[in-house]
Amino acid sequence: MAIKFRKNIYHGVNAHLNSLLQHEYGGWEVFHNSHITDILRAVDVALPVGYLAEAERGLQIRTIQIDEEDAYFRMKRPRPDITIHHTDPIAERKIGPLGLDAAIPTREYPALASLEYGEDVYLNAVVIREILETGEIGKPITWIELLSPTNKPPGQGFVQYREKRITALKSGIALVEIDYLHETRSPISNSLSYLDREDGATPYMITITNPRPDLQLGRTQEFGFHVDQAIPTVKIPLKGTDSITVNFQTVYNQTYESIKVFSYRVDYDSLPVGMDNYDATDQKQILAVMERAKNTTANPE
């Protein structure tokens, strides 16, 4: 019998959902879009006077392929921003009042013309900017990226991400990279590989690289954590000695619990897909969480 809970009963990243999202094409992007919005809201609340945060086209690019038949760029699968599933298999229901006149389109053209040709489609990131003395919004000072599989090696977007990462750091932008993807290697060259079972490697990592005052004196900090360990609360650098503290565990739980489709797909009575991709210690923690779920009766799905 399936065991489901609306709340995240892992103390950290939900390994069941996280594994599923990495094995289902397009699944991670749905979570990414929801989570980056929640991160933006948390950062915005924490910012002191003189700073602004906004969602902006990030350093990461979605995977795009060429359709050789019509030479148009297209996504591998359609990915709507919001999907509504019909849950009544018996009969269709009419929605809305009858007798209303439908609007006449102001423009109409072939569907093929609506496809973007040659456009790179980027995932959103959180960008923090300083408000200048003139009242104008200044250049980015801190960039927060939630990494996606296609932008980690050997993903097709890795080379582009690496180049944009280097450019951002050379320009003096502090970079926060959140990596919950244990089944792919980090795009950061000096990071330990959990996939290759390097000593000290962890399945999840938050990396903060502050290139100020310059790349020689700047530092990179890694905050690694294992299955069922809380996501770290970290200080994010702003300008000079300014910083903000963000509790990423609270933000993660907010994302997980805000949309029912995430928790609905988690069954604690079954092993996560790709269980062998975790090391022995993390597998043991997953089994402990599953046992905890069997003994928990509060907050059922």
% pLDDT > 70, the chain: 76
Domain presence at residue 100: no
Name the pLDDT band for 118 (thresholds 50, 70, 90). Answer: very low
Please check the confidence at residue 108 and state whether its pLDDT lies above 80.
Answer: no
Q: Quick check: is 162 in a domain?
A: yes
Does a structural domain hold residue 146? yes
Whether residue 173 lies inside any domain: the answer is yes
CB atoms within 10 A of CB 271: 16
Q: Rounded mean pLDDT of 263-290?
A: 97
Domain that holds residue 72: 15-77+114-294
pLDDT for the residue 258: 93
Residue type, 297: T
pLDDT, tens digit (0-9, with 9 covering 90-100), for 225-274: 999 999 999 999 999 999 999 999 999 999 999 999 999 999 999 999 99
**In 3-state terms, what secondary structure has residue 192?**
coil
Give the whole-angstrom CA distance, residue 244 versus residue 49. Answer: 12
Query: Tens digits of per-residue pLDDT, 130-145?
Result: 999 999 999 999 999 9
How far is the C-alpha of 283 from the C-alpha of 271, rounded, in Å?
Answer: 10
| Residue written as token pair 């790709």 | 274
- E runs forming strands in the chain: 51-61, 65-67, 72-74, 122-131, 137-146, 174-179, 204-210, 219-225, 233-237, 243-247
> 277: phi > 0 → left, psi -120 to 50 → alpha, else beta; which?
alpha
Residue 83 forms part of a structural domain = no
CA distances from 211 to 22, 43, 214, 223 (A): 31, 20, 5, 17
Confidence of residue 80 (pLDDT cuts 50, 70, 90): very low
Tell me, yes or no, whether 87 lies in a domain. no
Q: How confident is the model at residue 161 (pLDDT cuts 50, 70, 90)?
A: confident
pLDDT digits (tens, 9 = 90+) for 186-236: 999 889 999 999 999 999 999 999 999 988 889 999 999 999 999 999 999
Residues 6+ apart with CB under 8 A from 243: 235, 236, 237
pLDDT confidence of 73, banded at 50, 70, 90? very low
Q: Is the pLDDT of residue 99 over 70?
A: no
Q: What is the pLDDT of residue 20?
A: 95
Residue 58 has pLDDT above 70, yes or no: no
Question: Within a domain: residue 238?
Answer: yes
Is residue 92 scored above 60 in pLDDT?
A: no
Q: What are phi and psi of 195, to 5 degrees?
A: -60, -35
Confidence band, pLDDT 50/70/90 cuts, at residue 107:
low
Label residue 122 by pLDDT band (50, 70, 90). low
- Considering its fold, how many domains does the chain have in total? 1
Q: Helix, strand, coil % (nearest 5) of the chain?
A: 30, 25, 50
Quote the CA–CA distance of 133 and 131 in Å, as a whole number.
7
Contact, 234 vs 220, CB < 8 A?
A: no
Q: Rounded to two decimals, what is the model's pTM?
A: 0.80
Q: Are 17 and 23 in contact (CB under 8 A)?
A: no
pLDDT at residue 219 in the model: 92
Q: What span, in angstroms and rounded, lies between the C-alpha atoms of 286 and 275?
A: 9
Identify the pLDDT of residue 120: 47
Length of the chain: 301
**Whole-number pLDDT of residue 158:** 87
* pLDDT score of 93: 41
**Residue 150 resides in a domain:** yes
Cα dihedral: 182, 280, 10, 54 (round 10): -20
Mean of the per-residue pLDDT values for the chain? 82
**Radius of gyration from C-alpha coordinates of the chain:** 22
> Vertex 289, ends 288 and 290: CA angle to 5°?
90
